[in-house]
Every structure is written in C-alpha cells, then in structure tokens.
Amino acid sequence: MPYSSSFDLEGKIIAVVGAASGIGAAVAEGCGRHRARVICFDLDLKAAEDAALRITQAGGIAEASAFDICDGAAVDAAFEGVRARHGRLDVAIATPGVNVRKPLLNYTDEDFDRVIGVNLKGSLHVLQSAGKIMAAQGSGSIILFSSIRSLVVEPGQGVYAATKAGINQMVRTLAAELGPRGVRVNAIAPGVVATPLTAPIRNHPEWRQAYANKSALGRWAEPEEMVGPAIFLASDAASYVTGSVLFVDGGWTAIDGRFQPPGM
C-alpha cells in the first residue's frame, strides 16, 4: 500500500462511544473528515445527534444512537446493530470516563461502584462486544482511552488511576487473545486535556497552571490533539501495532520536575 494512503479511513465503519462531547466529539469529527462512516454513540442521544449533524454538515457520513456503556446487553445490541446495518465493524473507539476525587479513606462503596462501573466494566463491555464481531469477521481495531494516571497518581485519584491501569492490562490481554484473528487492540493515554471532565481543575487558576507546568510543553492539550493518534491507530498505518499504550501527554510522564541545573 502506498504510504500516502495508509492513513486513509474512507469507507471504514467506525463507532465512537462518547461522541457527544470532549475527546469523543473531536475524534468522531476527525474520523468523519477522514471519510469514514461514523456512528456516534452516547448516553445523551440529542448530543450524539448534534455530533453526527456536525459531521454531515462538514461533508462526512454519520449517524447517532443512544448508548449506555454500563449496560452490557445494550452495548451488545448497539454494536450488533452496526454490524446488521453495515455488514461489518471496522473500528470501535471508546472515550467515556468518570472520576470521584476524594482520598481513598473517604471513598464509599457507591463512589467505587460508579467509577469502576463506567471506566472498567464499561470498557470491558466495549472490548467484548466489538471484539466478538471483529473476531468473527477476521479484522478490526479497538481503541480505548486510558490516562497518564495509569502510571502516575496524585491524592484523590486512586480509584480512577486503578481503572486506567486496568484498561491498559485488558487492552494488552485482548490484543494477545485476538491477534491470531486479525484484530488489533490498543489504548491512548492522554495527559491533561481541556474537556468537561477537567473543567473543575481549569476553573481553579493555581491548579490549572500547575498541571500546565508539569508537561514538557508547558500547556494543556485540546481535544482535537487526540484525533491524530486515534486516526493512526484506526488506520492501516498501524497495521502492526497492537497491545500498545500510546501516551499523548505533552511529555508529562517523560520528565521528573523542571529544575534546570546550573550550566545545563
């Protein structure tokens, strides 16, 4: 295949879970602009329909459907519906995540169940449902969104971090299990991104700046900066990439402090 076309998504059937806002919305629009047929899944159907409309207004092809990542049977039905309508499922991308920021000693069972239910069990539902379809057809790419918190933590992030580390390990496991069936499974691990999830941090000037200073680039990422990595992993350019966690963190996990020693 010519290098110039290896990133082409034309004609691919791509389901984006969490397409209504933040990273999911940006990724869905990016796939549409790369000529894929995009299915915008989200718990908020109206917002998913708005996302699909933006894609079609930009010249792409998109549709929308309600999607509850916590309901395994509903996830199965949603992905099976894509296969029934379009004959296949080429790419599944899942972006949803929630966090309850509080010290571990203060965590309640309800807090734990909420974070685990969306981030870990929900991700498992996507892996299972999309994975079964792709294994049967002998091809496909699944992309989950992890986080820098799968490696580094701070107070109040313990359970969230545990779920992101768990996503990494489930991705690696399914990549090993489905590799012989032609299915690739990878994760993208962003740093700090300006999304609705991080709005409370960005509304706190000192906290916002501290996070910006922690990256090598000295700033936050915009949701659109996650599109390129997602397009890469969805495309034939990543045909030999599976079981990987791609850190898109502005160098956050590469540096340890910012002190410049004299003479350096």
Phi, psi for residue 103 in degrees, rounded to 5: -60, 150
Quick one: pLDDT band at residue 31, thresholds 50, 70, 90?
very high
pLDDT of 102 over the 90 cut: yes
Report the alpha-carbon distance of residue 101 to residue 200 in Å, rounded. Answer: 11
Mean pLDDT of 127-143: 98
In this predicted structure, what is the pLDDT of residue 264? 57
Q: Which residues contact 84 (CB under 8 A, 6 or more apart)?
A: none
Q: Judge contact between 79 and 89, C-beta under 8 A.
A: yes
In this predicted structure, what is the pLDDT of residue 260? 66
Q: Nearest to residue 94, comparing CAs of 127, 64, 71, 116?
A: 127
pLDDT of 259 over the 70 cut: no
Mean pLDDT of 172-186: 98
- Tens-digit pLDDT profile for residues 181-191: 999 999 999 99
Report the alpha-carbon distance of residue 53 to residue 47 in Å, rounded. Answer: 10
pTM of the model: 0.95
107 included as an active-site residue: no
pLDDT of 4 over the 90 cut: no
pLDDT of 30 over the 70 cut: yes
The catalytic residue among 3, 160, 211, 240 is: 160
In this predicted structure, what is the pLDDT of residue 140? 98
- Tens-digit pLDDT profile for residues 199-248: 888 999 999 999 999 999 999 999 999 999 999 999 999 999 999 999 99
* Domains of the chain, each with CATH number or no CATH: 9-194+222-246 (3.40.50.720)
Q: Judge contact between 92 and 15, C-beta under 8 A.
A: yes
In this predicted structure, what is the pLDDT of residue 196? 85
Q: Judge contact between 30 and 5, C-beta under 8 A.
A: no
Quick one: pLDDT band at residue 90, thresholds 50, 70, 90?
very high
pLDDT of 2 over the 80 cut: no
Quick one: pLDDT band at residue 65, thresholds 50, 70, 90?
very high
Residue 143, Cβ neighbours under 10 Å: how many? 27
Return the C-alpha torsion angle 248, 71, 102, 105, nearest 10. Answer: -120
In this predicted structure, what is the pLDDT of residue 28? 98
Share of the chain above pLDDT 90, in %: 91
Report the alpha-carbon distance of residue 131 to residue 112 in Å, rounded. Answer: 26
Quick one: pLDDT band at residue 35, thresholds 50, 70, 90?
very high
